[in-house]
Amino acid sequence: MSAEASKALAADLAGMIQFADRGIVSKTVHDSPALKLVLFCFEPGQMLSEHSAPFEAVIHVLEGNAEVKLGGEVHDARPGALYVMPAGLQHAIRAKERFVFLLTMTRGRPNVTGP
């Protein structure tokens, strides 16, 4: 495990929010062998096309409104909403207004030794 991954993290997510007219802004907040946290910021109309990931992931909506498609189900995502996605689930996002969320991705269980 890297020295950075073994340290505690205190982050000001609101201070990290940034938007771009011609693209989605994504900022890695934390990256370790077992866990990755990425802050995403979308302008209205921006989208992530349907895709899947080989690991579990969680979307935690912080600001704005978007259409979040999980499998065949469409959700009206607003601040405070939380979506847990199993590995392999097809999903997509389309921002209806400025939209900010924290994506948490697992990468499997870390190797832990000890009692």
**Could you read off the pLDDT of 76-106 as tens digits, one per residue?**
999 999 999 999 999 999 999 999 999 999 9
Distance CA 76, CA 13 (A): 22
Q: How far apart are CA 35 and CA 53, in angstroms?
A: 14
H or E segment to which residue 10 belongs: none
Structure tokens at 49: 């096309």
- All structural domains of the chain, each given as residue ranges with its CATH number in brackets, are 15-106 (2.60.120.10)
Alpha carbon of 98 to those of 82, 86, 104: distances in Å? 17, 26, 20
pLDDT in tens, 44-73: 999 999 999 999 999 999 999 999 999 999
pLDDT one-digit tens code per residue, 14-40? 999 999 988 899 999 999 999 999 999
Length of the chain: 115
Residue 82's beta-bridge partner residues? 60
